[in-house]
C-alpha cells in the first residue's frame, strides 16, 4: 500500500539524553503539534531531526534513538554540531526566519551557512529517497527544507510532492534582498503543489516567481520545466475535538484530580471578587511581540487603574532557539520588563504578571486555556498562530474573549475575535478593557461562530484538503501528459511522414525554432538551425514554410537566400524561393498614424516596453517590463484598443508578451489555408507556441498534425515541451525521410522519452 511521508526539520518528538537514558517529550510549535494528529491518523512515516547532536551519540545510543523513533513511525536524520550551528541556528533561524517575518534588521546573510543549508537539505533528500517507494506521496514542511522538493523531484520525477510553508511568505520587495533567492524558489518549485496559510502569502510567492524567475503564472498555476505546479492557500486548523474534549473532561475534575497549577489559578480567582485572568502562550520569539504586549499591559494598568489588584496576566513563554543572539536578547528584555512592571504595580496580595519560562504538559495548557477570561495574542508577524485557535476550542461554555493581532495568519479567519494592531498600545489597552467588560451573551455569540468554523475546518480536514489538491494536481499533469507528443505518437507521425509524397511543414519562428530573447533582433538563427532547416528543405517532396509574425525585412535578412517559403507579418506577405515578396492581402495602413500615439503613451508609462512598427501592423512588446505591471498595462491597452479600432477592420492579437494590432483579414490561419489550395498535400504539419499560431491550428484540416510548444491551452493536437524538443522532432523527420534509412530501424530506434 502506498504511504505518505511527512518531512519536517523537527520530529513531533523531542529526545534528550541523561545518564545514557532517553527522555522523550512532545515537540512544541505549530507544525509539530498540528501535523501530529495527521501522523497519528493513517499510514505515514515522519522523517526529521530528533533534537540530538550526532556527536553526543555513540553506536548504542544511535540504535536506541532509531528504535525509539521507529516505534513512533518516524525516522531520524542526524545533524552534527556544525549542521546545527550553520543550518539550524544559522541559515534557517538567522536568515530565513527573520527575513520571512519582515525582521530585515535581524537577517544575516552568510555564505558558510548557505552552504550548510544546501548540505543538510541534501541529507534530508537522501533519507527521504531511502524510504520512498513508487507511488508514495511526499509532503515536505516549512522553511528549513525549501530546497528539498527539487532535490527529490530531480531523482524521482514521478513522485508526488507537496510542500507547505508554515510561516509567512514575504512580499517580493523583501524576498528579493535574499542573495540565493533564485535557488530557493527553484527548490520550492520541485513540488507539484505548494500550500500557504493565507492568500496573501500565496500571492507574494507567485509575485516573486513571476518577477525573479520570470515565469508565467496563470491564476494559481505555474508552468515550469514541463510540469504544471499549483499554488494554493490552506489555513491550518487544530485538532478541535482533542482540545474541546480535554476541556470538557477538565470541567468535570474534582478537587483531588486538579493539578497544582489549577489549584493556584483557582486560589487567585476565588480570593478577589471580580478577579480576571489574561493569558498569553507562545515560544519566546521576537515575532510574537512579547515586549510590546508587556508594555501595552503596563499602559493598560496606567490608563485603567480600576483593574489593578483584579486582573492578572499569565505569560507563558516556551524556550526556543536560545543559541541565536536575538533570542537571548529577547529573553533578557522580557525578564527585565516583567520585573519592572511587577516591581511598579505589585501589592502585598497581588502580582500583575505571572511569568512562566518553560514548556508545559498538555494538561497544564488546558488548565490555563480554560481558566483565563481573555487570551491576548499579539504577534508582530505570525504565519498562522494555533494558540489562538486552541484557546477558543477549549471554551466549552462559550465564554472568553480572544484579542488577536491582525498580523497573525489566524486573523484572516477569526473575524469575530477582537482584532488589534500589535504596535498600537492605545488600541490594545482599550480593547483589553472592552474584553474584560464584554457581556457574556456577546462573548457566546462571537465564540459560537469561531467554534463552528474551527470544528469544521479541523487539522484533519486541512490535511485531507491538501492531499486531495495534491492528487488533483498530479491528475492535471497526467491529462496534459496524455496529449504530449510521446514516443508512441511520434512513431505514428513519423510513419505518416515517411509514407507521404507531398509534405507541408509550417513552422513558427520565435518560441518554436528559437527561444525568446529580451531584444527580438537578437534571436537570430544559429548555425545548427540553418543546417537543420536546409536539410529539411532539401528533402524531396517537402515544402518548408517559416510562418512568423516578424516583418519581411527581418525574415528576408535571415532566410531570404535559403530558398524556403517565408510568410511574414502573420500572413501579410509571402516569399517563395528566390522570388520577391508579394502581399497576400490588400491592406490599409491609414489607421497606423492614429493608433501609434496611443501606443507610444503605453511605452512611455511602462518601463522596459517598446513599439515595433511593421509594414502592416504595430506591436507593443512587454517582455522586459515588470511582469505584473506589464500584464496590467496589457489588459488596459486591450480595453483602450477595443473602442479605437471599431472604425477600422482591425484585430488585436495577444502573442507571447506582445500585443499586436493588424488588419483583421491577416492571420496565420488564412495564410496557411491558402497554401493548401496551391498543392495537394498528403502530410500537413504545423508547429507554434502562441496565440497567433492558434489561427493556424484552427484552420488546418483535421488530419493535420498540429503541435503546440509548451504546456498551454491550445487547439493543437499535441504538445512538446520546448524548442529543444522541436529540433529533436525535426531531426527525427530527417532520419525518417532519408532514402537509405530503413523504416524499421529509423523509426523505432529511439522510442524512449
Ligand atoms: P509557533 O508555531 O510559532 O510556535 P503556534 O501558536 O502556531 O506558534 O503553535 C504553538 C504550538 O505549541 C501550539 O500548538 C501550542 O499548544 C504549543 N505550545 C505552546 N506553548 C507551549 C508550552 N509551554 N508547552 C507545551 N506546548 C506549547
Ligand atoms: C514554528 C516553525 C516550525 C518550528 C517551530 C518550533 O512553528 O514554523 O517549523 O518547528 O516553530 O521551532 P524549532 O526551531 O524549535 O523547531
pLDDT in tens, 664-713: 888 999 999 999 998 999 999 999 998 889 999 999 999 999 999 988 77
Q: Is 20 a catalytic residue?
A: no
pLDDT, residue 477, reads 66
422 Cβ neighbours under 8 A, 6+ residues apart: 289, 292, 293, 378, 379, 380, 405, 406, 407, 428
pLDDT, residue 751, reads 34
DSSP-assigned letters across all residues of 218-282? ETTEEEETTEEEEEEE------HHHHHHHHHHHHT--GGGS-HHHHHHHHHHHHSTT-EEEEEEE
Rg (CA), the chain: 33
Does residue 616 register a pLDDT over 50? yes
pLDDT, residue 742, reads 46
264-291 per-residue burial string, b: 16 or more CB within 10 A, e: under 16: ebeebbeeeeeebbbbbbbbbbbbbbbb
pLDDT, residue 36, reads 84
Asked if 250 contacts 364 with a C-beta cutoff of 8 angstroms, the reply is no
Does residue 746 register a pLDDT over 60? no
**Position 753 confidence tier, pLDDT thresholds 50, 70, 90:** very low
Helix H or strand E encompassing 292: helix 290-303
- Pairing relationship of beta strands 227-233 and 276-283 according to DSSP bridges: unpaired
Calculate the dihedral angle through the C-alpha atoms of 472, 512, 680, 530, rounding to the nearest 10 degrees: -150
- Residue 46's beta-bridge partner residues? 6, 74
Mean pLDDT of 273-298: 97
Ligand nearest to the CA of 242: 1
Query: How close is the Cα of 29 to the center of ligand 2, in Å?
Result: 5
Question: Between these two residues, 715 and 447, which has the higher pLDDT value?
Answer: 447
Hey, do 487-585+666-745 and 592-663 end up sharing a CATH topology, with the first three levels equal? no
**How many residues are there in the chain?**
753
Asked if 195 contacts 123 with a C-beta cutoff of 8 angstroms, the reply is no
Calculate the dihedral angle through the C-alpha atoms of 688, 689, 693, 698, rounding to the nearest 10 degrees: 90
Closest residue to atom 18 of ligand 1, CA basis: 28
Asked if 231 contacts 202 with a C-beta cutoff of 8 angstroms, the reply is yes
Instruction: Identify the top-confidence range among 470-484, 511-525, 560-574, 650-664.
Output: 560-574
SS3 call for 590: helix
SS3 call for 580: coil
Within 6 A (CB) of ligand 2 lie 10, 29-32, 142, 166-167, 320-321
Asked if 367 contacts 390 with a C-beta cutoff of 8 angstroms, the reply is no
**Position 220 confidence tier, pLDDT thresholds 50, 70, 90:** confident
Tens-digit pLDDT profile for residues 62-83: 999 999 999 999 999 999 999 9
Does residue 715 register a pLDDT over 90? no
Tens-digit pLDDT profile for residues 498-512: 999 999 999 999 999
Q: Report which DSSP code applies to 121.
A: H
Q: Which atom of ligand 1 is nearest to the CA of 288?
A: 3
Cell of 699: 484552420
pLDDT, residue 747, reads 40
Q: Which atom of ligand 2 is nearest to the CA of 167?
A: 8
pLDDT, residue 479, reads 58
Compute the mean pLDDT over every residue in the chain, rounded to the nearest whole number. 93
Question: Between these two residues, 252 and 228, which has the higher pLDDT value?
Answer: 252
Query: How close is the Cα of 409 to the center of ligand 1, in Å?
Result: 15
Q: Which atom of ligand 1 is nearest to the CA of 356?
A: 23
Tens-digit pLDDT profile for residues 458-501: 999 999 999 999 998 877 666 555 478 888 899 999 999 999 99
SS3 call for 526: coil
72-107 per-residue burial string, b: 16 or more CB within 10 A, e: under 16: eebbbbbbeebbbebbbbbbbbbbbbbbbbbbeebb
Sign of CA dihedral 416, 422, 426, 428: positive
Nearest alpha-carbon partner for 420 in 438, 437, 439, 401: 401
Q: Report which DSSP code applies to 482.
A: H
List phi, psi (to 5°) of 228: -105, 120
Pick one of 3.30.70.1020, 3.30.200.20, 3.90.180.10, 3.40.50.720 as the CATH number of 592-663: 3.30.70.1020
Dist. CA 95–CA 83, nearest whole Å? 15
Asked if 696 contacts 688 with a C-beta cutoff of 8 angstroms, the reply is yes
pLDDT, residue 749, reads 36
Work out the number of other CB atoms within 10 angstroms of the CB of residue 676.
15
Q: Where are the domains of the chain?
A: 4-233, 240-456, 487-585+666-745, 592-663
Nearest alpha-carbon partner for 466 in 138, 195, 220: 195
Order of strands, edge to edge, in the sheet holding 650-654?
610-613, 617-621, 658-663, 650-654
Ligand nearest to the CA of 26: 1
pLDDT, residue 297, reads 98
SS3 call for 571: coil
Asked if 565 contacts 576 with a C-beta cutoff of 8 angstroms, the reply is yes
What CATH class has 240-456?
Answer: alpha beta
E strands, 80-199, where? 137-141, 160-164, 193-196
Q: What's the predicted TM-score (pTM) here?
A: 0.84
SS3 call for 82: helix
Question: Between these two residues, 751 and 241, which has the higher pLDDT value?
Answer: 241
Query: How close is the Cα of 29 to the center of ligand 1, in Å?
Result: 4
Dist. CA 299–CA 217, nearest whole Å? 48
- Residue 566's beta-bridge partner residues? 546, 575
Tens-digit pLDDT profile for residues 322-339: 999 999 999 999 999 999
Asked if 16 contacts 25 with a C-beta cutoff of 8 angstroms, the reply is yes
Query: How close is the Cα of 31 to the center of ligand 2, in Å?
Result: 7
Mean pLDDT of 574-601: 91
**Position 243 confidence tier, pLDDT thresholds 50, 70, 90:** very high
- pLDDT > 90 in the chain, percent: 80
Q: Which fold has domain 487-585+666-745?
A: Rossmann fold (3.40.50)
**Position 432 confidence tier, pLDDT thresholds 50, 70, 90:** very high
Closest residue to atom 5 of ligand 2, CA basis: 29
SS3 call for 561: coil
Q: Which of 157-161, 367-371, 484-488, 604-608 has the lowest mean pLDDT?
A: 484-488
Mean pLDDT of 372-381: 98
DSSP-assigned letters across all residues of 351-390? -SEEEEES---HHHHHHHHHH-SEEEE--SSBS--HHHHH
Query: How close is the Cα of 314 to the center of ligand 2, in Å?
Result: 23
**Position 53 confidence tier, pLDDT thresholds 50, 70, 90:** very high
Helix H or strand E encompassing 106: none
Out of 83, 285, 508, 693, the active site residue is 508
Work out the number of other CB atoms within 10 angstroms of the CB of residue 539.
19
Closest residue to atom 3 of ligand 2, CA basis: 31
Does residue 643 register a pLDDT over 50? yes
Within 6 A (CB) of ligand 1 lie 28-30, 33, 281, 283, 316, 318, 359-360, 365, 384-387, 390
Whole-Å CA distances, 657 to 295, 471, 668: 52, 32, 18
pLDDT, residue 268, reads 84
pLDDT, residue 602, reads 93
Closest residue to atom 9 of ligand 1, CA basis: 30
459 Cβ neighbours under 8 A, 6+ residues apart: 34, 35, 37, 38, 236, 237, 238, 239
Q: Which atom of ligand 1 is nearest to the CA of 317?
A: 23
Does residue 741 register a pLDDT over 60? no
Asked if 149 contacts 187 with a C-beta cutoff of 8 angstroms, the reply is yes
Query: How close is the Cα of 66 to the center of ligand 1, in Å?
Result: 26
Residue in the block written with cell 504538445 = 719
- Pairing relationship of beta strands 705-709 and 683-688 according to DSSP bridges: parallel
pLDDT, residue 586, reads 82
Say if residue 510 is exposed, middle or buried (CB neighbours under 10 Å; 0-12, 13-18, 19+): buried
**Position 118 confidence tier, pLDDT thresholds 50, 70, 90:** very high
Closest residue to atom 15 of ligand 2, CA basis: 320
Dist. CA 297–CA 378, nearest whole Å? 11
Dist. CA 396–CA 392, nearest whole Å? 8
Dist. CA 265–CA 279, nearest whole Å? 12
List phi, psi (to 5°) of 2: -70, 150
Q: Which atom of ligand 1 is nearest to the CA of 360?
A: 24
Closest residue to atom 11 of ligand 2, CA basis: 29
Pick one of 3.30.70.520, 3.40.1160.10, 3.40.50.2000, 1.10.357.10 as the CATH number of 4-233: 3.40.50.2000
Amino acid at each position: 500500500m502506498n504511504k505518505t511521508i511527512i518531512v519536517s526539520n523537527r520530529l513531533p518528538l523531542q529526545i534528550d539524553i541523561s545518564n545514557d537514558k532517553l527522555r522523550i517529550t512532545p515537540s512544541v510549535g505549530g507544525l509539530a503539534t498540528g501535523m501530529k494528529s495527521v501522523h497519528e491518523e493513517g499510514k505515514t512515516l515522519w522523517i526529521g531531526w530528533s533534537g540530538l547532536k550526532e556527536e553526543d551519540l555513540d553506536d548504542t545510543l544511535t540504535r536506541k534513538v532509531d528504535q525509539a523513533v521507529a516505534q513512533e513511525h518516524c525516522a531520524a536524520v542526524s545533524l552534527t554540531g556544525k549542521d546545527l550551528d550553520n543550518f539550524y541556528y544559522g541559515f534557517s533561524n538567522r536568515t530565513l526566519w527573520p527575513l520571512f517575518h519582515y525582521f530585515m534588521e535581524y537577517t544575516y546573510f552568510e555564505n558558510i551557512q548557505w552552504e550548510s543549508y544546501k548540505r543538510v537539505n541534501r541529507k534530508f533528500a537522501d533519507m527521504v529517497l531511502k524510504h520512498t517507494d513508487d507511488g508514495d506521496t511526499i509532503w515536505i514542511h516549512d522553511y528549513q527544507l525549501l530546497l528539498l522538493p527539487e532535490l527529490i523531484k530531480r531523482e524521482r520525477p514521478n513522485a508526488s510532492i507537496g510542500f507547505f510553508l508554515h510561516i509567512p511568505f514575504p512580499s517580493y520587495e523583501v524576498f528579493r534582498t535574499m542573495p540565493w533567492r533564485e535557488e530557493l524558489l527553484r527548490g520550492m518549485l520541485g513540488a507539484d503543489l505548494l500550500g500557504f496559510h493565507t492568500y496573501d502569502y500565496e500571492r507574494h510567492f507567485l509575485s516573486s516567481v513571476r518577477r525573479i524567475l520570470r515565469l508565467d503564472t496563470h491564476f494559481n498555476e505555474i508552468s515550469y520545466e514541463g510540469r504544471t505546479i499549483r499554488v494554493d492557500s490552506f489555513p491550518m486548523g487544530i485538532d478541535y475535538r482533542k482540545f474541546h474534549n480535554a476541556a470538557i473532561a477538565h470541567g468535570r475534575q474534582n478537587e483531588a484530580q486538579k493539578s497544582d497549577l489549577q489549584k493556584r489559578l483557582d486560589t487567585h480567582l476565588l480570593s478577589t471578587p471580580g478577579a480576571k485572568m489574561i493569558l498569553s502562550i507562545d515560544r519566546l520569539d521576537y515575532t510574537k511581540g512579547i515586549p510590546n504586549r508587556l508594555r501595552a499591559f503596563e499602559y493598560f494598568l496606567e490608563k485603567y487603574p480600576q483593574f489593578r489588584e483584579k486582573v492578572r496576566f499569565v505569560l507563558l513563554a516556551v524556550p526556543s532557539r536560545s543559541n541565536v543572539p536575538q533570542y537571548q536578547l529577547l529573553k533578557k528584555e522580557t525578564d527585565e520588563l516583567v520585573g519592572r512592571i511587577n516591581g511598579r504595580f505589585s501589592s502585598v496580595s497581588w502580582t500583575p504578571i505571572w511569568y512562566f519560562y518553560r514548556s508545559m504538559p498538555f494538561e497544564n495548557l488546558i488548565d490555563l486555556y480554560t481558566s483565563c477570561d481573555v487570551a491576548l495574542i499579539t504577534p508582530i508577524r505570525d504565519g498562522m498562530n494555533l494558540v489562538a485557535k486552541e484557546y477558543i476550542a477549549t471554551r466549552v461554555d462559550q465564554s472568553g474573549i480572544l484579542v488577536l493581532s491582525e498580523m497573525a495568519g489566524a486573523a484572516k479567519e477569526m473575524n469575530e475575535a477582537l482584532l488589534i494592531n500589535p504596535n498600537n498600545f492605545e488600541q490594545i489597552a482599550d480593547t483589553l478593557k472592552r474584553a474584560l467588560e464584554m457581556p457574556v451573551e456577546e462573548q457566546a455569540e462571537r465564540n459560537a461562530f469561531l467554534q463552528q468554523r474551527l470544528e469544521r475546518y479541523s487539522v484533519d480536514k486541512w490535511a485531507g484538503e491538501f492531499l486531495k489538491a495534491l492528487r488533483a494536481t498530479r491528475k492535471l499533469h497526467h491529462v496534459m501528459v496524455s496529449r504530449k507528443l510521446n514516443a508512441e505518437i511520434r512513431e505514428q507521425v513519423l510513419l505518416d511522414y515517411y509514407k507521404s509524397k507531398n509534405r507541408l511543414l509550417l513552422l513558427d519562428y520565435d518560441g518554436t525554432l528559437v527561444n525568446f530573447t529580451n531584444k527580438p533582433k537578437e534571436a537570430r538563427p544559429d548555425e545548427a538551425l540553418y543546417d537543420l532547416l536546409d536539410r529539411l528543405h532539401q528533402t524531396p517532396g517537402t515544402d518548408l514554410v517559416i510562418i512568423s509574425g516578424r516583418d519581411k525585412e527581418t525574415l528576408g535578412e535571415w532566410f531570404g537566400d535559403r530558398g524556403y517559403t517565408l510568410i511574414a507579418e502573420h500572413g501579410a506577405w509571402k516569399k517563395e524561393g528566390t522570388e520577391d515578396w508579394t502581399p497576400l492581402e490588400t491592406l490599409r495602413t491609414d489607421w497606423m498614424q492614429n493608433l501609434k500615439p496611443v501606443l507610444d503613451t503605453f511605452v512611455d508609462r511602462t518601463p522596459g516596453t517598446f513599439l515595433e512598427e511593421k509594414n502592416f501592423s504595430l506591436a507593443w512588446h512587454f517582455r522586459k517590463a515588470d511582469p505584473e505591471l506589464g500584464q496590467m498595462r496589457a489588459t488596459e491597452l486591450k480595453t483602450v484598443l477595443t473602442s479605437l479600432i471599431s472604425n477600422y477592420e482591425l484585430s488585436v492579437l495577444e502573442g507571447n508578451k506582445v500585443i499586436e494590432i493588424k488588419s483583421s483579414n491577416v492571420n496565420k490561419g488564412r495564410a496557411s489555408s491558402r497554401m493548401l489550395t496551391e498543392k495537394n498535400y498528403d502530410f500537413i504539419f504545423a508547429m507554434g507556441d502562441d496565440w497567433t499560431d492558434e489561427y493556424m491550428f484552427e484552420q488546418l484540416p483535421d488530419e493535420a498534425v498540429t503541435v503546440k510548444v509548451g504546456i498551454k491551452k491550445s487547439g493543437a493536437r499535441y504538445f512538446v515541451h520546448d524548442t529543444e524538443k522541436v529540433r529533436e522532432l525535426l531531426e527525427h523527420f530527417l532520419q525518417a525521410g532519408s532514402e537509405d534509412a530503413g523504416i524499421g530501424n529509423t523509426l523505432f530506434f529511439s522510442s524512449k522519452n
